[in-house]
Amino acid sequence: MDARCATTELMKPLAPMTSRIPTLVFISGGLFGAILLAVLAGDALIASGAVRNQAALETPAKIFFFALFVAFGFSLIPLMVALVLGGLDLIGKGLNVQPFKLLVARPRWIVWPIWVLMALGLAIALPAAIRAGFFGNEDASPAGLAERTAAQAIAETPAQGTLVAAPGMPVARMISDSSIRVQRGSESELFSGAQYGGAAIFNYHVAGSAMTFPRCRYYYITTYAGRPLRIATINVGISSEKLSRAELDAAERDVRGRLIADGWHRSGRLWVRSGTVLDLRSRRLDEPFGGENRANAGEWIAYVELREVKTLAKKTTH
């Protein structure tokens, strides 16, 4: 057999691998195109307002994109091997050198070890990335980390007791019925405008009703100017943490359902029962920005304000 025939025989194993290049290009190109299309589709959905809760979809979207990226990376390995072997096929050099000849005959000996190394790298790095919040939807900055740490600490803090209070109620009864220590507002600059006020993790029970708000954050209580021993107004922050717009809507639906079950009657935005008016309100904590979707933007807290019905009547007559 002359040298030309020997070279031809050695090149035969290349034919199956090089013939797959168009298929491998299609697979890798399709995965890369899927990543681009997914980005464009996601931006279009967000811009249209069809996605009402972006925070809830952020983690699934990250997992989806990461899976596409990993698949794309793995698909490049056989493509690159095929291209290298195809190049050698064109050059026709080095095919008689051992052990290269064995690798040419068995390209899987190149592809599979690289895949195994990539899989091992993922197996080692992915758990650490998950613990670090790689797939989470929180801010990864130092400020965001500090905020998450504080939020976790609050979530793990047990309620310190229950505040039992209602407008018109004697202050002495509020203090005796409550299992938390009711602080005077003057003890803190934040609550200096209230006769009683403080921040804690506590449950708030509306005296004379079945309504209890779990894990509240602050209370702000005033008394009547002419009757300093009776409660005039109550303001309680009923959100233990910041809420997305969707979470705020869900929390308010839950409160409204429990108010109806407890016999409260709605009057516009107010709820009335047994001489008490309850106003379910919310406050945005971050600043609005241009182009945001108002239906799902912002970070929010919910709070309730309570007063006596006669106080409301006096305000409407003036």
Mean pLDDT by 10 residues, the chain (318 residues): 40 54 88 89 72 67 88 90 70 51 69 90 86 63 52 69 97 96 82 88 95 95 94 95 89 95 93 95 86 78 93 46
Q: For position 41, what pLDDT does the model report?
A: 84
For residue 169, give the nearest of 219, 208, 111, 139 by alpha carbon. 208
Sequential DSSP letters for 126-137: HHHHHHTTTTS-
Q: For position 176, what pLDDT does the model report?
A: 96
Specify whether the CB–CB gap between 119 and 70 falls below 8 A.
no
Specify whether the CB–CB gap between 233 and 243 falls below 8 A.
no
pTM attached to this predicted model: 0.55
Q: For position 86, what pLDDT does the model report?
A: 67
Domain ranges within the chain, ordered by starting residue? 3-131, 154-317
What distance lies between CA 157 and its chain's CA centroid? 21
What distance lies between CA 225 and its chain's CA centroid? 45
Specify whether the CB–CB gap between 82 and 25 falls below 8 A.
no
Q: For position 166, what pLDDT does the model report?
A: 97
Per-residue tokens: 229: 């021993």
Q: For position 47, what pLDDT does the model report?
A: 67
Q: For position 96, what pLDDT does the model report?
A: 52
